[in-house]
Structure 1
Amino acid sequence: MTKKTYNGAKNSKERSMQKLVEAVGTIIRTQGYTGLNALNIGKTAGVNRGLINLYFGSLDNLVEVYVRGKDYWVAAAGNAGELMEEKRDQHTREILESLLVNQLNYFYKEDEMQKIVLWQLSQRSKIMYEVAEEREKLGEAFFNLADPYFENTDVDLRAVAGLLVGGIYYMVLHAKANDSLFCQIDVNSENGLERIKKAISAILTDTYKRAENAKT
């Protein structure tokens, strides 16, 4: 008969590590990045805060483990990745519109991603730099597909997309923080969100038309 191996200590360590990782997410959602200290994390996880250094080496390493496991930008992209595969030889306007609308929907609903973007804007850090780089990789994949359409035109699709993404972030963060109108639009209403989506579509349609006209 094979003797069973005792895994109590191992399982206890894994449970404690998981609690600490989950506590990071809880604090980001409820307090933002300013609440990420060892005392808060240990208390939220219900374990000794000294385990952070013991198991992860440092507080920064623990936060990095959590953030790296989230894939915020992939989730925010929705089905855009599939569209890039399906329509790689076709018009790319639909792909970009899908990317932006999916991002608006996801960002509006996900408190955690809102806190992550605020963190990126408020504090320079290695973790947030790398998160931003992951976002840029997704953008690079799209722009590589779109570039041939805009070749030999003066239409700057990257600048247009940048303004739209920045507008999405700011309008949502403003609405969530102040619950007030922005340019007389109630972003916290279904009608307000639909107005923004229609504006995104109209801007992209005009942008692609300008490129088409420049080539004729």
Structure 2
Amino acid sequence: MKNERKITQGPIREKARTMKKLVNAVGSILRKNGYTGLSGYAIAKHAKVDRKLIYAYFGSVDKLIEAYIKKTDFWTPDTNAQVKEILENPRKRGAEDLKALLINQMRAVHGNRDLQQTLLWELAEKNKVLTRVSEEREFLGERLFPFIEDDFNDSGLDLRAILAILISGTYYSALHAANNGSTFCGIDMNGPEGKQRFENALRQMVELCYEKVK
């Protein structure tokens, strides 16, 4: 029985290692050559595995690329412990939860080059994989909004539009800092002081919204 278990676990471990190599290869190619360099042949060559394994383990090149994008995305339960906790413990959430989400998102996008690359890709090309991931992200948002929207009913504040501005502003500030390197509104987002100012501003804007509805 002991030997049998080893035989069973060996192929499973090897499959997991190969899948990880393929997913990582997508990121390496994307960073080096951009999204135009993503092909089944290039990914398999970089991962040093048989191209047939892409289809055996993921079903298609698109599904492999989708697996990579989801691994880098901030707004998924698989990669975000806070999102997972909110979904698993459905209850009303307040200002502190919202501030934590926005600040963690800011830190993630500023500190993760892979996430920055996928965001740039989303802006640069209309792609069915990116569209599908974006739609799933929106579906997840619809599951999260009910936990924070009650405080803003009949308040006159359009919470969703406010969050859209804050989230998209966070994305842009990170992409601008990483790819341009210059200041934005006189703030250096590549330095700790600039990032701290941005975090403080996120806290202030959330607090202003909650003060408005008290």
**In which range does the TM-score fall when normalised by the shorter chain?**
0.7 to 0.9
Instruction: Look up the equivalent residue of 1:203 and give its one-letter code.
Output: M
Q: CA deviation at 1:140?
A: 2.3
Instruction: Look up the equivalent residue of 1:100 and give its one-letter code.
Output: L
> Distance in 2 between the 1:87 and 1:68 partners?
23
Q: CA contact under 8 A between 2:26 and 2:68: conserved in structure 1?
A: yes
Between structure 1 and structure 2, the one with the greater Rg is 1
> Distance in 2 between the 1:88 and 1:12 partners?
38
Correspondences of 1:1-216 after superposition (within 5 Å) = 14=15, 18-49=20-51, 52=54, 56=58, 58-68=60-70, 72-74=74-76, 77-79=80-82, 81-82=84-85, 88-89=91-92, 92-212=94-214
1:77 and 1:164, CA in 2 relative to 1: closer, same or farther beyond 3 A? farther
> Distance in 2 between the 1:61 and 1:82 partners?
27
Q: CA contact under 8 A between 1:78 and 1:99: conserved in structure 2?
A: no
Q: CA deviation at 1:160?
A: 0.6
1:71 and 1:179, CA in 2 relative to 1: closer, same or farther beyond 3 A? closer
Q: CA deviation at 1:13?
A: 8.2
Q: CA contact under 8 A between 1:42 and 1:48: conserved in structure 2?
A: yes
1:78 and 1:106, CA in 2 relative to 1: closer, same or farther beyond 3 A? farther
Q: CA contact under 8 A between 2:72 and 2:79: conserved in structure 1?
A: no
> What CA deviation, in whole Å up to 9, does each residue of 1:150-201 have, x standing for no partner?
1122110101100000000001000000111011100001100010011111
> Distance in 2 between the 1:11 and 1:81 partners?
26
> Distance in 2 between the 1:82 and 1:18 partners?
25
> Distance in 2 between the 1:113 and 1:154 partners?
34
5+ long unaligned stretches in structure 2 = none
Q: CA deviation at 1:48?
A: 4.7
Q: CA deviation at 1:136?
A: 2.2
What is the CA RMSD across the aligned residues, in angstroms? 3.4
1:205 and 1:54, CA in 2 relative to 1: closer, same or farther beyond 3 A? closer
> Distance in 2 between the 1:31 and 1:93 partners?
41
Aligned residues: 210
> Distance in 2 between the 1:83 and 1:64 partners?
24
> Distance in 1 between the 2:159 and 2:166 partners?
11
Greater Cα offset, 110-119 or 10-19: 10-19
Q: CA deviation at 1:95?
A: 1.4
TM-score if structure 2 supplies the norm length?
0.79
Q: CA contact under 8 A between 1:76 and 1:107: conserved in structure 2?
A: no
